[in-house]
Amino acid sequence: MKRGFGRSVRRFGRNDIKRRYGVGSAKDKDRLRSNLRRLTICITVVIIILLLKNMNFSYAQRATSGIKSVITTEYNLKERFTALRDTVPVIKNSIMRVFGTGDSPGLMIMPVQGEITSGYGKRTHPVFKVESKHEGIDIAAPVGQPVKAALPGVVVEAGPHSEFGNVVVIEHSAGLRTLYGHLDQLRVEEGQQVSRGQTIGTVGNTGLSTGSHLHFEVWRNGRPVDPAHELDLGLIGT
């Protein structure tokens, strides 16, 4: 029995194993490398998602959603590498916006608590009844409710405006400006330094307005941008 077992081993050598199972072929080596790459990507994605899950910020949640779409769609190595490459800067920028840097003012808070009743972009003007671009958002709130500075900065305008009634404009770092319109009372003056969350006025119905609300604009490098993309909608100034 022992001699027979030894003979069978000698007959069934390395070449027989390669021939029967295909081990060692160039095709199988490529397949192994491909599977290892996929495994590495999956592990990396899982780690990133776990890290983002611990960050209770809307930007982190958006980045998490982007990564989830990478691993829930049909797998294509080249496309997934591209998607991950595009997602990493988003995560980096989100972290920079949340914690701030030497050039960034940090997280932008909601200036007032309330429902966004009119978004950024084209709309029918509530007074003139013509289609025009709305360069900010409208947040419904009762007259007298405190309005907070979304970021620290310097007040560059505080007074009456032909369209927005009583208005406050604050200049921040990184090329940002914020505008707060239709205010009832002003609590700041031009040239004054303000901190994030500081009360700068109260909600009103001044100017071309059809009801009490805050008109809020964000400008970046001289151009209006959608405030909904800049704000952490879950964080209200206190």
Count of structural domains within the chain: 2
Q: Maximum CA pair distance of the chain?
A: 105
Same domain, 73 and 121: no
- The per-residue pLDDT for 121 is 79
Cβ–Cβ < 8 Å for 6, 45: no
Same domain, 64 and 83: yes
How do 199-203 and 131-134 pair as beta strands?
unpaired
Same domain, 160 and 226: yes
Same domain, 73 and 17: yes
Length of the chain in terms of residues written: 238
Same domain, 75 and 158: no
**In the listed set 99, 127, 153, which residue is the last one of a domain according to the structure?**
99
- The per-residue pLDDT for 231 is 83
- The per-residue pLDDT for 189 is 97
Same domain, 44 and 123: no
Q: Which residue has the tokens 């879950």?
A: 234
Same domain, 148 and 83: no
Same domain, 133 and 95: no
CATH number at residue 182: 2.70.70.10
Interatomic CA distance for residues 136 and 134, integer angstroms: 6
Same domain, 93 and 143: no
Per-residue tens of pLDDT for the chain, all 238 residues: 444 444 444 554 555 545 554 445 666 677 777 778 878 887 887 777 666 655 544 455 555 555 555 544 444 555 555 555 555 444 444 444 443 433 445 678 999 999 988 888 777 776 656 777 888 999 999 999 999 999 999 999 999 999 899 999 999 999 999 999 999 999 999 999 999 999 999 999 999 888 899 999 999 999 999 998 888 654 455 4
Q: Give the chain as a DSSP string.
A: -HHHHHHHHHHS-HHHHHHHH-TT-HHHHHHHHHHHHHHHHHHHHHHHHHHHHT--SHHHHHHHHHHHHHHHSPP-HHHHHHHHHHHHHHHHHHHHHHH--SS---PEEESS-SEEEE-SEEEE-TTT-SEEEE-SEEEE--TT-EEE-SS-EEEEEEEEETTTEEEEEEE-STTEEEEEEEEEEE---TT-EE-TT-EEEEEB--SS-SSSEEEEEEEETTEEE-GGGTEEEEEE--
Structural domain of residue 23, as residue ranges?
A: 2-99
**In the listed set 52, 74, 99, which residue is the last one of a domain according to the structure?**
99
Interatomic CA distance for residues 15 and 13, integer angstroms: 6
**In the listed set 43, 78, 99, which residue is the last one of a domain according to the structure?**
99
Same domain, 132 and 220: yes
Same domain, 40 and 151: no
Same domain, 145 and 112: yes
Residue 131 pairs in a beta bridge with 124
- The per-residue pLDDT for 14 is 53
- The per-residue pLDDT for 102 is 38
Terminal CA-CA length for the chain: 87
> Angle at Cα 87 formed by Cα 219 and Cα 37, nearest 5°?
170
- The per-residue pLDDT for 29 is 72
